[in-house]
Chains A and B, each alone.
Chain A
């Protein structure tokens, strides 16, 4: 097969819609009789509601309904497990009782004719809380709640292989260092939003989501409906990074209010509500103890992790997920402790586990490299793993060593003098650092439908599945893959996504959706081509028995021909006219793989090389250069892939230098819960990036050979920056983010 489209830098097929505003996001749908719901958030961080007075709010102009725990409808038990096909953000239904578990918890929803009326009336709801209740919003204030969590998605968080302690104690070189990362929030640009509308016993929900089928599962359980009576629509999502995977309280309450009012209810979270009430990445405290031989062989590693969760529920940020498998370390142990805080339940945020874990591990390896007077790339090579020691299976495809080679070459790493402060430039100090990136290969499964039809304008294919395009480029990728497989020009293919009436598709999470859908789309196209050949075999000269030799035929530009005689081709339109229906349709699906199967372990990897410029007088750090090389199997859409990698790296720069959700320990509220206070990088923080990929297909993973790319970009970046800052200044900051005050203090 000659590849023309796959891997090429095509423009986004929905680009024009997005830049002209034609792309409709959930909150932009206009329904008749729309009403507006505004949530009232608790100002207390714990205790109980002693009294809630809604009299004045109910009297305010335009108010239709005020829901509180006193009159909220009873909801069915909602699923809370990825494997159950849907996840309620918290198992406790919203407004279910008078308990306050964290600041910001919704205590009422006010619905009015206009948004302004609802907002004003919400300010009139008076809540009296019990006073003086104990609460904690920092790990050090909750030591008495320390406990060991259960598994994370089937993986144990505390285990040992070999004898780390014995080997650590007798090691030539030992490192014992503790690193910490703060609470972080994805802050997707599009705030969380829902429009819920009922018609008889059918619920239609326009939702900002990354999982329409998950929302369908949760809402059908909450309202005791058959799934087919719940219709979720989400053609576009304005970013999510994990935060729109669970079905959140505002969605459930909008649906409850809409049922009661028999009118559509729109509810858009305010930015402070997004930051306070939508799950964040937990803070982590990570202690690494590493033993090594003088020549750099790591003989022992222990990774102790402490994270937080909410008062009643558990989400352990799985920070040891990469330290357990990335390097060839036989004597390894990890432990995970948690404490309970008065905060919303933590949740997935881009590379959950790998992000903080790789910051700590790759920082520790840099420290070890200095202890050993060894180049940090050489140290990683020395401990390179060819087998995943957690599963004892070989990696299906692993080109990490090539990533190091190419990255070092493109960066000019060989010119590095390892001595800290060895590269001054005027008022600045230049530093070079590197780190490894890693992320598992996930494929959560999808069913895809492809339909080829013909009308007066010509042949046209539609590829569809319920998966959502969360901004990553799914529309473009599926269009490209289908056009390639069917031999049609791009403009002859349309992708349909984000609708629960379409075929089953996994959450747009775990960087899995391309790997799940692209092979299914291709397989469906193969079946359609087979049918086209059958039609040709029956009808056309020179095509006798063609379907029995499918791979001898070339499908190109809407026509099929035998490769020995490309000139004698027949058009799809002509073949479709011979069919009993004016179309051909096929479905195919992929089966889930969660990081490994019986034969292989599936992991992507990469390497970041970073240059920083530090102004030591004022502690200012600027990232001036990044070279990143990734091994993620075959890359299908070069432009959207580069954007994904770049977005991940930008996230990494944010985590390294500025991101931190800070809580007031006296009162329990986040003090920077808006986009002026919670800092994410702006353009001026981002340098030109040199991003490339190895592009070796992993056919053990799926028939197309692609693994996910959405999350790996972030992993390792904070460590590469921290390592570069050390190289520049001689100062090791072990607590993210690396802000001017910390550089002045150390």
Chain B
């Protein structure tokens, strides 16, 4: 770990100002990713701007949805009564992530910016275009069982590790931010993440010193009927091999609306409009679900050790839809 300066921000403007000074400044919230990576010398910020005391810790129910403060802890969000009732996919996704201790620390805003678990990203002796642009990608030739099959490039195949974000993508969440000159903007989460392409070091559309203040969940009756299924190598405290966030609206036996996102398989939390198109207007039955799964994974590109993820992700999506349909509402 390298020496760094620590600043406790008292209001959003001060935080943004402090983070704007010097190129090596970062916001510090739960720290569950940042401190870990600092210990590994993967991140070596010169200054940490602690945003934990900023007034973004509430969950507000509004007429058009729910406004979640960036500092709301994962565990508080997961157990919030309205979230559990109206957005079960989000509560389930949060509880499928990390451990109880980590969820007590991890913040909503921080989770949006969670870094990949790619072992080569986390090892400063390995080539990694995300950590050190232009150095290459040891994952493509290395051990890549856990890596992405969707949204990859010749420069990077690192998986986005979050569960929460997969649910947020399925729920069309909107990210609220504040910038240096005091301007604010609202970014749909589906436009928030950048595919790695040739610049895997750029992960989101955020500008430097742009502070996430809230996440807005639009009102969405379909979200009441939603579900998150995660497949992993142990029962808890492990990243997904594949996961699916699904929400359905049906009329009789026909699906009238669908929302599908996949985790553990994409370089970003993966929304599949193709799967949604394959579901909409079709009977809610296995054949339909399988067609949707085929559509979702059609663009998948396997690496040496992770070809199984294509079939596993398909089956995870089908099972998630079946489990959702088996629930009574």
Contact = CB atoms under 8 A, between A and B. Distances in A.
Interface of A: 43, 116, 119-120, 123, 427, 615, 617-620, 622, 657-658, 662-664, 666-667, 669, 671-672, 676-677, 679, 681-685, 737, 739-741, 744-745
Contacts of A617: 315, 318-319
A666 B123 CA distance: 14
A-B interface, 6 closest residue pairs, ranked by CB to CB distance from nearest: A684-B235, A43-B125, A741-B308, A684-B236, A671-B119, A685-B235
Contacts of B138: 664, 666-667
A663 B142 CA distance: 9
Contact of A744 (B120, B125, B145, B312): B312
B92 to A, nearest CB: 15
B234 interface: yes
B247 to A, nearest CB: 20
Contacts of A622: 235
Given A684-B236, A745-B308, A669 B315 contact: no
B251 interface: no
Contact of A682 (B2, B234, B311, B322): B234
B234 A657 contact: yes
B231 interface: yes
A682 B231 contact: no
A318 to B, nearest CB: 28
6 contacts: A116-B3, A619-B312, A657-B233, A676-B117, A677-B117, A679-B234
Given A682-B237, A683-B236, A744-B312, A620 B231 contact: yes
A133 to B, nearest CB: 15
B107 to A, nearest CB: 19
B253 interface: no
A671 B143 contact: yes
B67 interface: no
Nearest to A683: B236
A667 B233 contact: no
Contacts of B145: 741
A684 B234 CA distance: 8
B238 A679 contact: yes
Given A618-B242, A618-B316, 12 more contacts: A123-B2, A427-B319, A658-B233, A663-B143, A666-B142, A667-B126, A667-B142, A672-B119, A677-B119, A684-B234, A685-B235, A744-B308
Contacts, number: 87
Contact of A120 (B3, B143, B234): B3
A664 B142 contact: yes
Interface residues of B, number: 33
Contacts of A662: 143
Interface in B305-329: 308, 311-312, 315-316, 318-319, 322
A650 to B, nearest CB: 12
B142 A618 contact: no
Interface in B114-137: 117, 119-120, 123, 125-126
A366 B311 CA distance: 30
Contacts of B231: 618-620, 740
Contacts of A739: 233
A618 B315 contact: yes
Contacts of A741: 145, 241, 308, 312
Contacts of A119: 1
Contacts of A682: 99, 234-237
Nearest to A737: B233
Contacts of A681: 234
B183 interface: no
A427 B41 CA distance: 45
Given A119-B1, A662-B143, A618 B126 contact: no
A123 B41 contact: yes
Interface in B80-104: 99
Given A676-B117, A744-B312, A120 B1 contact: yes
A-side interface mostly: loop
Nearest to A742: B308
Nearest to B2: A120
B180 to A, nearest CB: 31
Contacts of A618: 231, 242, 312, 315-316, 319
B181 interface: no
A688 to B, nearest CB: 15
Contacts of B238: 679
Contact of B233 (A666, A669, A679): A679
B242 to A, nearest CB: 8
B168 to A, nearest CB: 23
B207 interface: no
Contacts of B119: 671-672, 677
B308 A671 contact: no
Interface string B134-176: 0000100111010000000000000000000000000000000
Of A663, A664, A671, the most chain B CB neighbours within 10 A belong to A671
B292 to A, nearest CB: 15
A740 B233 contact: yes
Nearest to A745: B308
A367 to B, nearest CB: 25
A91 to B, nearest CB: 27
A138 B41 CA distance: 28
B149 to A, nearest CB: 13
Contacts of B319: 427, 615, 617-618
Nearest to A684: B235
Nearest to A42: B125
A579 B103 CA distance: 63
A615 B242 CA distance: 15
A744 B237 CA distance: 22
A704 to B, nearest CB: 39
Contacts of A667: 125-126, 138, 142
A45 B182 CA distance: 52
A657 B234 CA distance: 8
A478 to B, nearest CB: 35
A119 B4 CA distance: 13
A86 B322 CA distance: 60
B267 to A, nearest CB: 19
Contacts of B318: 617
Contact of A116 (B1, B236, B237): B1
B36 to A, nearest CB: 9
A75 B99 CA distance: 45
B43 to A, nearest CB: 13
A567 B283 CA distance: 87
A671 B99 CA distance: 22
A680 to B, nearest CB: 8
Nearest to A61: B3
A12 B135 CA distance: 54
A324 to B, nearest CB: 34
Nearest to A426: B326
Nearest to B319: A617
Contacts of A677: 117, 119
Contacts of B117: 676-677
B128 to A, nearest CB: 12
Contacts of A740: 231, 233, 241, 308, 312
Nearest to A675: B237
A250 B141 CA distance: 33
A662 B143 CA distance: 8
Contacts of B143: 662-664, 671
Given A116-B1, A679-B234, A681-B234, A671 B142 contact: yes
Contacts of A679: 233-234, 238
Contacts of A683: 236
A685 B236 CA distance: 8
Interface string B240-263: 011000000000000000000000
B265 to A, nearest CB: 13
Contacts of A671: 119-120, 123, 142-143
A679 B236 CA distance: 10
A673 to B, nearest CB: 9
Nearest to B98: A676
A745 B141 CA distance: 22
A622 to B, nearest CB: 7
